[in-house]
Chain A
Amino acid sequence: MTARAVRAGISQWLEHAVLLVAFGALVYYVTRAVPEVQGRLWTIAAIGLLLLAGTLTSELTAPLGLPHLTGYLFAGIACGPHGLRLLTEQTVRSLSPANTLALSLIALAGGAELELAAVRKWARGLAWAMLVQTALVLLAVTGAFLAVRPLIPFARVLAPGAALGVALCWGALAVTRSPSATLAILSQTRANGPLATFTLAFVMVSDVVVVVLVATVLGVARPLIDSSTSFAFDSFVSLGHELFGSVALGTTLGLVIAAYLRLVNRQMLVVLLVLGFGVSTVLDYLQFDALLTFMVAGLVVRNLSQQGHKFIHHIEQTGTVVYVVFFAIAGADLDIPLLRNLWPVALLLAAARAVTSWVGARVASHVAADPPVLRTWAWSGLVSQAGLTIGLTLVVAREFPSIGPPFRALAIATVAINEMIGPILFKLALDRGGETSQERTTGLPSIRPPAPG
């Protein structure tokens, strides 16, 4: 890099820093000058603020080698109710429709990125990894939870049987990964290679495994935590209904999208918005798994039609905006005071999970005879946790109200740590594994600066 380019880079960095401070100062002044008004319009401004702050912070942290996602999270934390209070708790809550939309688009993108031919190539490794990771993480993290039980106020007072039940729930949650974080990193780095393909396939498939696992563990834990109940098979009926329904609806949706792309192929942005809001509402009503449905839809478009590349192109156009909004909201939603209180235990549990994931990856890679890059780095993409875990935490908390709130608080604190560390690890692994694209993401010719002269 020439000295001129370095100077230009520094100058641009400073410019972005000044602009970030200026925008922040403006919003800070406005929120202090007009503290009472918390209307719905401020929700709109909040999206604008998070978009700006997230994009700028990611640019500012990029020289440190941090993924953009981390910048979005930092921006959210800084703007949120536990930072500069530019957004209140109420505003962050009111952003949930934007979150729903973002999640649906992320799941669609996830499915569309999965090429079955490539997945088949890694099928043996994936199968072993899924088996080892699921079993090992479930057992080891359950054990870790029981080991640190004396440090957890709400678990300390539980009877041994109940403590085992809660620990099992914790172990099941530890098996969850973050499709959104994985996709955000892959979208930023445009990584291509065994590690990228393997991680994406693993994380997306693990969504299905986790849904089944959590339902099973809840069934087992119920009589342990509440002795008045017994193991109920009914929950598996509704689980089957949920999974079958989600896959069926996802397949139908995928076929409809493929037909639309083939016959019309226009205004996909509006179509995606309709899908995001409309179908999410229907799924909520039917109690189907939105992530699974949209993922299957993307998978069908990519693998059962000729429209996959067109679809990916359309989805990628929404990429930056969707990821910034999703992760900046996640950052704003992070309960920093809670993390401050619970960080020693949360850190212990997060570390136990990460170490177990590492051991599991080594074992599975060895058994499946994976290539060196997977043996070394396959674990790195499995550390992130985000919205999916928090969503399942809510399910556990609802199921066991007596331990619900403190359980959820500890889970959120642990997810916060994984959410911040996981993406950094995964990006580092992609960089080290040589899978990160060397090209800057392609810009439209129209927005490039005019040629000199």
Chain B
Amino acid sequence: MNTVALLVGLLVLSYLGSFWITRRTAGGVGLPSGVEYAALGLVLGPQALDLVAAKDLTAFEPVVQVAVGWLAFGTGLDFGFAAERRVSPSRVALASLGAIATGGAVATATWLVIGCLHMDVTRSERLLLAGGIAAACSQTTRHAVGWVAEHLRTQGGLADTLDDLAHSDVLFPLLAVAFLFALGGTRATVVRIPWLDGPLVTTGLGVGLGAGAALLLRSEMPVEDTWAMLFGPALLVIGIAARLGLSTLTASFFMGLALSRLSRHGPELRAMVSPTERPVLLPALLLAGARLDFGSTGSWPWIAAAAIGARVAATILVGWVIAAGSRSARAGGPLVGLSLMSSGALSMCIGMAFALRFPGTVGDTVLVVTVLSATVGEFVGPARLRRSLLLAGEIDYTAARASPMPKTVRA
């Protein structure tokens, strides 16, 4: 396919995506993580129809990097806020611990399976594989609970708790990505940054540019200038992080976080950036799908099974911990943790970032497992969430039965 034709196609997809943001609340189409677009990409990509050739994917690498970085920036802006309600520090801590526990379980399971399979990978690659999959599988999509709550008109402690947790669990996965990126010396890494300093430089870069952007946005300015002040530092942080071989995701996230916390215009900025996420996400997902390569290693089914199994087990355990401290969560039943199974845009972005940074067995396997985990999450998460909310008495039985299965949430 001609590169410009592909670009226009992606823009059209982006256009459609922007429509679905506003139609979502009126009935909804699509899935939380957008895996269906990844599937479409797979069909169009070199593995199937070859309409999107491998060289096109290379040509569009910067587009994907920018999309991924912009989504992380939006996630950073939104971090710790659930529908403009600030999430309490204790819930942020709980969410982070949950993510660490889930990520730890997934990493351990993956590490062990790789050992059992005697895969032909170095120790460093094994660490990258286990860590990358763990990072991608340890978070819940931000808007999963919010959409269900809105869709079924729920109100109550359980919905609020789960919503808060879903909005504040990305810190660990993104820091893990920063560590892992600093570990891997690949084609783009010219400057050697010691792996312990890597995350520090990555977060420092993001926070520094975020603080700079916050200063720039202090004065009153037309909205066009505001966009320039958002795009400028955001593109710069992505470019610099990539040039230094650091995680663009983590740097962009911390830039968004710093900007959100330091700027008095935080709510307005969140309102500006939020509607851009879906239009940016869909083309990125399509290209991610086109990059999927199930043939890079024959062991991916086993790795995926181990990772997803560990994730299910860990989220159930995390649910028990949440239930131990919250009466409303206890009312959601013993499997309330599975309500947090929906993984979203950020997981897909992590998978994509690994595929770009570590092309070959590591990147391809992380991306494949991420997509599969997101697909499983689609089946388990929303259904379990609805069930838990029903058990907790936070939705009306009649209304819930009358409404269709909440298959759609904002990614």
> Which A residues lie at the B interface, using CB under 8 A?
12, 15-16, 19, 22-23, 26-27, 30, 33-37, 39-49, 51-52, 55-56, 266-267, 270-271, 273-274, 277-278, 281, 316-321, 324, 440-444, 446-450
A52: chain B residues at CB < 8 Å are 228-229, 232-233, 236
Known A-B contacts A273-B11, A447-B268; the reply to A41 vs B222 at CB < 8 A is: no
Known A-B contacts A274-B15, A446-B271, A449-B264; the reply to A44 vs B222 at CB < 8 A is: no
Listed residue (B65, B242, B243, B279) with the most chain A CB atoms within 10 angstroms of its CB: B243
User: How far is B65's CA from A48's CA once the two chains are assembled, in angstroms?
Assistant: 14
Known A-B contacts A19-B212, A30-B243; the reply to A441 vs B62 at CB < 8 A is: no
List residues 105-150 of chain B with CB under 8 A from any CB of chain A.
none
User: How far is B66's CA from A45's CA once the two chains are assembled, in angstroms?
Assistant: 10
Whether B264 pairs with A45 at a CB distance below 8 angstroms is no
Looking at chain A's contact residues, the main secondary structure is: helix
Known A-B contacts A44-B66, A52-B233, A446-B268; the reply to A317 vs B223 at CB < 8 A is: yes
A324: chain B residues at CB < 8 Å are 228
- B159 at interface by CB-CB < 8 Å: no
The chain B residue sitting closest to A42, CB to CB, is B239
User: How far is B242's CA from A52's CA once the two chains are assembled, in angstroms?
Assistant: 19
> Which B residues lie at the A interface, using CB under 8 A?
4, 7-8, 11-12, 14-15, 18-19, 61-62, 65-66, 188, 190-191, 208, 212, 215-229, 231-240, 242-244, 264-265, 268, 271-272, 279
A44: chain B residues at CB < 8 Å are 62, 65-66, 235, 238-239
Listed residue (A36, A447, A449) with the most chain B CB atoms within 10 angstroms of its CB: A447
A319: chain B residues at CB < 8 Å are 224
A12: chain B residues at CB < 8 Å are 218-219
| Cross-chain contact of A15 among B11, B62, B215, B234 (Cβ < 8 A) | B215
Whether B229 pairs with A48 at a CB distance below 8 angstroms is no
Listed residue (A41, A42, A43, A441) with the most chain B CB atoms within 10 angstroms of its CB: A41
Instruction: List 16 contacting pairs A-B, 8 Å CB cutoff, sorted by A.
Output: A33-B190, A33-B191, A34-B244, A40-B62, A43-B62, A44-B65, A46-B239, A48-B232, A52-B236, A55-B229, A270-B15, A274-B12, A277-B7, A321-B224, A447-B226, A448-B220
Looking at chain B's contact residues, the main secondary structure is: helix
Known A-B contacts A22-B212, A30-B244; the reply to A48 vs B220 at CB < 8 A is: no
A135 shortest CB reach to chain B, Å: 40
User: How far is B271's CA from A441's CA once the two chains are assembled, in angstroms?
Assistant: 21
User: How far is B243's CA from A35's CA once the two chains are assembled, in angstroms?
Assistant: 9
User: How far is B66's CA from A288's CA once the two chains are assembled, in angstroms?
Assistant: 32
Whether B232 pairs with A442 at a CB distance below 8 angstroms is no
The chain B residue sitting closest to A450, CB to CB, is B264
Known A-B contacts A43-B62, A44-B66; the reply to A51 vs B223 at CB < 8 A is: no
A48: chain B residues at CB < 8 Å are 231-239
Whether A55 pairs with B235 at a CB distance below 8 angstroms is no
User: How far is B239's CA from A326's CA once the two chains are assembled, in angstroms?
Assistant: 19
User: How far is B368's CA from A197's CA once the two chains are assembled, in angstroms?
Assistant: 58
B234: chain A residues at CB < 8 Å are 48
A42: chain B residues at CB < 8 Å are 239, 242-243
B224: chain A residues at CB < 8 Å are 316-321, 441
Whether A51 pairs with B235 at a CB distance below 8 angstroms is yes
User: How far is B234's CA from A445's CA once the two chains are assembled, in angstroms?
Assistant: 23
Known: A278-B8, A446-B272. 13 other contacts (CB 8 A): A19-B212, A19-B215, A34-B190, A36-B190, A44-B238, A46-B239, A47-B231, A48-B236, A48-B238, A51-B235, A320-B222, A321-B227, A444-B223
Whether A41 pairs with B231 at a CB distance below 8 angstroms is no
B248 shortest CB reach to chain A, Å: 8
Whether A40 pairs with B264 at a CB distance below 8 angstroms is no
Q: Report the 9 A-B pairs with minimum CB-CB distance, sorted nearest first.
A: A45-B239, A48-B235, A52-B232, A48-B236, A51-B232, A320-B224, A444-B223, A41-B242, A278-B8
User: How far is B317's CA from A370's CA once the two chains are assembled, in angstroms?
Assistant: 83
Whether A447 pairs with B227 at a CB distance below 8 angstroms is no
User: How far is B226's CA from A443's CA once the two chains are assembled, in angstroms?
Assistant: 9
